[in-house]
């Protein structure tokens, strides 16, 4: 069950208005500044110490070592480059009784392994997937949030603190779910990027079509089409791919040569669209011509 909670001002008492942050890259620094602005006691550590200097001047306590940073409070947040850097930073550090929140991007399996790793060291664990870029941190109107999964108790206890930099969405006690949600949303985004890239490559061949005039048309169309995700979800849950289909796969696949020919006429590679077209053709060949595009989901699973 997804729990949607706004990033409102914290209501925790003074004993919990404390956070340790390991990793002061673009994202970690933004988190640190959001907590400082909200009046938190923030202890920071970074592998390359000069990166912590500015935050120290802004009020953060700069720890001399990871062990000192971890000892400073109950809540430890890591915002490091990758899972390997989390291991190298925390290996050998006493985490007994600590609450570890790892916002470093990783796979569902690496999050589950990290949860087991934390439990072996006597720590509670939650993983996080950040759905924002650094300029959105600390600005509720920007709409950024973090998917959390793992220890529900940790999340509930520290929610006020976690909700300061960005909104929060707890998506389950399986530690891998935050990462899975994160990667799934970003995968949808990359598919959209592929379509956007192809569309602009096509109009690039015409000097009389300005990208800035085409852009609102493309944005409007993508927005209008995005509603299909709900129909796809309903069909995946019901298993009904054939009832009330407005644009079936046979019709859409019949249009593929038109897309390929237009791309050829404008000297545009079809490499970004070809994999989807191939999947559509496979599903039609398998007898799915009358079906909705939702019927492509399961055949994609290997
Ligand atoms: P940066 O590259 O700006 O910072 C990386 C941080 O990791 C630095 O503090 C760096 O330390 C540290 N680091 C890297 N390798 C090691 C190591 N082996 N040992 C110790 N520390 C190490 O990245 P971001 O801050 O932008 O990203 C941090 C995390 O947030 C990533 O997992 C990223 O995927 C995620 N994220 C970032 C977004 C963004 O738009 N920036 C959006 C959503 C998620 P040092 O200063 O010493 O190099």
> In which domain, by residue range, is 82 found?
3-175
Q: In sequence order, what E strands does 46-180 have?
A: 61-62, 75-78, 99-102, 124-131, 145-150, 167-170
**196 CA to centre of ligand 1 in angstroms:** 28
Q: Rounded to whole angstroms, what are the CA distances from 208 to 185, 186, 215, 216, 219?
A: 35, 33, 14, 16, 19
Q: Are residues 186 and 170 in the same domain?
A: no
Q: What's the token pair of residue 263? A: 């791309």
Residue 15 predicted with pLDDT over 60: no
Choose the final residue of a domain: 155, 175, 195.
175
DSSP 255-274: THHHHHHHHHHTT---TTTH
Q: What is the pLDDT of residue 135?
A: 98
DSSP state of 166: S
Choose the final residue of a domain: 127, 144, 175.
175
Average pLDDT, the chain: 95
Encode pLDDT of 49-82 as tens digits.
999 999 999 999 999 999 999 999 999 999 999 9
Q: Are residues 170 and 292 in the same domain?
A: no
Nearest CA to ligand 1 atom 22: 85
**58 CA to centre of ligand 1 in angstroms:** 21
Choose the final residue of a domain: 110, 143, 175.
175
Encode pLDDT of 146-179 as tens digits.
999 999 999 999 999 999 999 999 999 999 999 9
Q: Rounded to whole angstroms, what are the CA distances from 129 to 1, 30, 36, 106, 191?
A: 16, 15, 22, 8, 19
**131 CA to centre of ligand 1 in angstroms:** 15
> Who's near 85: CB < 8 A, 6+ residues apart?
23, 47, 104
């Amino acid at each position: 069950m997804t729990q949607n909670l706004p990033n409102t001002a914290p209501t925790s008492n003074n004993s919990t208005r404390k956070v340790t942050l390991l990793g002061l890259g673009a994202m970690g620094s933004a988190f640190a500044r959001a907590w400082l602005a909200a009046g938190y006691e923030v202890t920071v550590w970074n592998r390359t110490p000069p990166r912590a200097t500015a935050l120290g001047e802004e009020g953060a306590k700069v720890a001399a070592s990871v062990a000192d940073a971890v000892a400073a409070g109950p809540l430890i947040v890591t915002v490091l480059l990758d899972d390997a850097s989390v291991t190298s930073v925390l290996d050998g550090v006493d985490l007994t009784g600590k609450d570890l929140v790892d916002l470093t991007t990783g796979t569902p399996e690496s999050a589950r392994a990290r949860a087991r790793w934390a439990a072996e060291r006597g720590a509670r664990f939650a993983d996080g997937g950040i759905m924002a870029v650094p300029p959105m941190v600390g600005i509720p109107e920007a709409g950024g949030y973090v998917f959390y999964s793992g220890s529900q108790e940790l999340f509930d206890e520290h929610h006020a603190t976690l909700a300061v930099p960005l909104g929060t969405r707890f998506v389950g006690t399986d530690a891998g779910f935050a990462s899975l949600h994160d990667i799934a949303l970003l995968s949808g985004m990359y598919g959209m990027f592929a379509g956007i890239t192809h569309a602009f490559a096509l109009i690039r061949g015409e000097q009389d079509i300005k990208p800035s005039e085409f852009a609102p048309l493309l944005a409007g169309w993508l927005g209008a089409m995005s509603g299909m995700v709900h129909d796809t979800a309903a069909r995946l849950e019901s298993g009904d791919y054939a009832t009330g289909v407005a644009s079936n796969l046979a019709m859409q696949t019949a249009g593929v040569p038109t897309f390929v020919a237009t791309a050829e006429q404008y000297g545009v590679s079809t490499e970004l669209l070809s994999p989807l077209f191939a999947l559509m053709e496979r599903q039609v060949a398998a007898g799915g011509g009358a079906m909705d595009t939702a019927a492509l989901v399961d055949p994609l699973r290997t």
